[in-house]
Amino acid sequence: MDEDQADHMLTKANSGANYSHPEVDLAWIAWKASRAAIEVELPDKVFVEDEFDNGHNCAIGYCAESITSLGLKVKP
């Protein structure tokens, strides 16, 4: 496949919501569905008594933000 063919396969459609090439669009839909199906369970936050507990809770919050930024869900 040459560069022009690859560029054509990755041309967006519907204001960028889909790909114009049907097989690429199907792969994109499947990839999004696979991401939506993943849900990560993090440890519970703890009652804050000291700096360690505070750091633990902050770390869980940072992890949750990173995970959701990748398009994955965090269990409540």
| 24-68 pLDDT, tens digit each | 999 999 998 998 889 999 999 999 889 999 999 999 999 999 999
Q: Are 38 and 72 in contact (CB under 8 A)?
A: yes
What is the C-alpha separation between 43 and 51, in angstroms, rounded?
Answer: 18
List strand residue ranges (DSSP E) for 21-76, in order. Answer: 39-40, 73-74
List strand residue ranges (DSSP E) for the chain, in order. Answer: 12-13, 18-19, 39-40, 73-74
Q: Which of 1-5, 36-40, 70-74 has the lowest mean pLDDT?
A: 1-5
Q: What does the pLDDT read at residue 1?
A: 81
Q: What does the pLDDT read at residue 71?
A: 87
Q: What does the pLDDT read at residue 42?
A: 97
